[in-house]
Amino acid sequence: MKLPNITILDEVDKKLREKSKEVIFPLSKEDKEHIQDMLTYLKMSQIPEYEEKYNLRAGMGLAYVQTGIPKRIFVIVEELEDGEFKDYIIINPKIISHSEEMIYVGEGEGCLSINREVEGIVPRYARITVEAQDMDGNPFKIRVREDIAIAFQHEIDHLNGILFIDHIDPKNPFKNAEKYREI
């Protein structure tokens, strides 16, 4: 596999704070290629030999805006088992319902745009239903839970100019931990 030529913006870049624009269909050839490049990059970041060879940080999601393009597109790559992945390509997402139950990642959320350790709790819904479009513009609904629900919410935040660190109370990073379920 060849590492795609993708530049991921760092948290100091003001573009990450922009609200991404709705995508108009049909997608351009460049957009389709960029989506595939993002998926390949994420897969390679999760495969130890490539992670080491190219000095990659493992990531499971990437929003278009993180590559400098403020369009409402994100991709998630879920490793099902060694070397087997499920791809999510989500365009123009809207959360239409969510659980009352809130969860958080015990070891803390990470982000390919934040190149430092960040401690603290990021409360997320345990389950969400999202309306979105596929690469051909066809509408669909998807219900996700647990870690994939967290990834979806993290990436949707990016599309709205929000970073996960914005959810952490700087004075009390573990505030209200007892109210949420750790995963």
Q: Cite the active site residues.
A: 155
User: Quick one: which of 4, 2, 180, 18 has its CA closest to 105?
Assistant: 180
CB 124 within 8 A of CB 103: yes
Q: What pairs with residue 133 in β-bridges? A: 91, 139
Ramachandran sector of residue 96 (left: φ over 0; alpha: ψ -120 to 50; beta: rest): alpha
Q: Count other C-beta atoms under 10 Å from residue 14's C-beta.
A: 8
In 3D, which of 3, 118, 109, 110 has the Cα closest to residue 51? Answer: 3
Query: 138: which residues sit within 8 A by CB, 6+ positions away?
Result: none
